[in-house]
Amino acid sequence: MRASVKYILAALVLVALSCKGQTPEQKKMMKDMMEDMEKKGMEAQRQYDSIMNTPEMKKIAEQNKAFEAQAKIDRDKRAAERKENSEKTVSPKNDLEDYIISSGNAKKFDNWSFGEADIVMAGLTGYQNDPGNKKKIGTVKADGSFDMQLPAKIATYSTIKENRWLSCGYFGDKGNIDYSNSNTGVMIGYISIEINDQLIGRLYMATAIELIDGWNPMQYHYHDIPGYRLEWFYAGGETSANGRCVKENRYGEGRDFDITTVYDAQLKPGWNLVKREFDGPRIFVDWGDGENNKHSYYKEEKISVVNELPGDAKWVFYDQTY
């Protein structure tokens, strides 16, 4: 509205300048026109002032001022936070924070915080996207206690000598294993935890979190505390694997070392608890770049079968909700 008044006043000035050289009649007509335009301009200004001085408009103006003031406070706060964060020393995340471990071998996590969830066994078909690839086998209650029932029978898609966890060669290792009933089907049971069909984590068994977090199956690297981990294997019949495989790790510069896996596994029909144990002599390797890269690897990894859950075994949940 104020802009319109300015335009009217500017027009009056231009009209006044154009009056030079006109006849008396033309000058009178232009004078009347200018007076009329001036009155209209003053009326427009009066209407503008009347609108802007209403309680409603004053309230809106006050709200705008308050909004601008709060926006400035927020901007200043964000700027201060960015400065503070830029000056902070970032501590590396402890990988073990992603795990929850039971206090004993009872099926309960004392610090469970995910509410009720489903325990699911996956890998029950030849391919991940096949129907029936996973099946609910139990429930975790809101208090962290849980129970599960393994399927009475599942299909097997590889024989014991083809199973990558009970044979040489899959991970680049070499050796010889003797099998009994070598055409017997064997499957490993992968157990996960889901909420509304969405994965939240994996369920394992071990003597400590380090046995889950630190084991590298692709390179046969493990250098943390001694202990063992347990895995469920289903066998279609009685079978066994006995022998040794050697993984030759060749990195050069004095960092070559061998890891031997010793198999002494007697599997019965149905579900078996296969034990993967690390203990005994180690090989020291300095990878360089500080103390955190100096490790002592176990020379041997031992594979066997236990008849029942050992007393020092614990349940381990690996949180994958990140």
Q: Is the dihedral of CA 100, 106, 108, 111 positive or negative?
A: negative
Phi-psi region of 287 (alpha: psi -120 to 50; beta: other; left: phi over 0): alpha
Shared domain for 79 and 117, answered yes or no, is: no
Q: Does 28 share its domain with 134?
A: no
Angle, to 10 degrees, between the axis of helix 24-52 and the axis of helix 2-18? 170
Token readout for 58 is 């004053």
List, in sequence order, every residue forming a beta bridge with 195; answer none if it has no partner. Answer: 198
Q: Are residues 56 and 111 in the same domain?
A: no
Q: 200 φ, ψ to 5°?
A: -115, -15
- CA nearest to 117, candidates 272, 313, 321: 321
pLDDT of residue 48: 61
- State the Cα torsion 35-38-40-41 to the nearest 10°: 180
**Domain end (from 62, 87, 112):** 87
Residues with Cβ within 8 Å of 90's Cβ and at least 6 positions away in sequence, in order, are none
Residues of the chain with pLDDT under 50: 1-5, 7-9, 12-15, 17, 88-93
CB atoms within 10 A of CB 211: 24
Q: Letter for the amino acid at 208?
A: A
Q: Which of 235, 234, 141, 140 is nearest to 192 (CA)?
A: 140
Q: Given this model, what pLDDT does residue 249 score?
A: 84
User: How high is the pLDDT of residue 28?
Assistant: 67
Whether residue 191 is found in the same domain as residue 114: yes
Task: Specify the pLDDT at position 66.
Answer: 74
Domain end point (choices 53, 87, 121): 87
Which is it for strands 257-267 and 300-306: parallel, antiparallel or unpaired? parallel
pLDDT tens profile 186-228: 999 999 999 999 999 999 999 999 888 876 655 556 777 899 9
Asked, for residue 236, whether it belongs to a domain, the answer is: yes
Torsion of CA 249, 250, 253, 258, to 10 degrees: 40
pLDDT at 22: 62
| Same domain flag for 168 and 287 | yes
Tell me, yes or no, whether 309 lies in a domain.
Answer: yes
Specify burial of residue 207 (Cβ count, 10 A radius: 0-12, 13-18, 19+): buried
Same domain assignment for residues 250 and 120:
yes
Q: Is residue 95 part of a domain?
A: no
Range of the domain at 273: 100-319
Q: So what's the pLDDT on residue 132?
A: 82
| Cα-based distances in Å from 164 to 84, 160, 171 | 51, 9, 8
Q: Domain tally for the chain?
A: 2
> 184 with 237: CB under 8 angstroms?
yes
* Per-residue confidence (pLDDT) for residue 84, from 0 to 100: 67
CB atoms under 10 Å from CB of 177, counted, come to 21
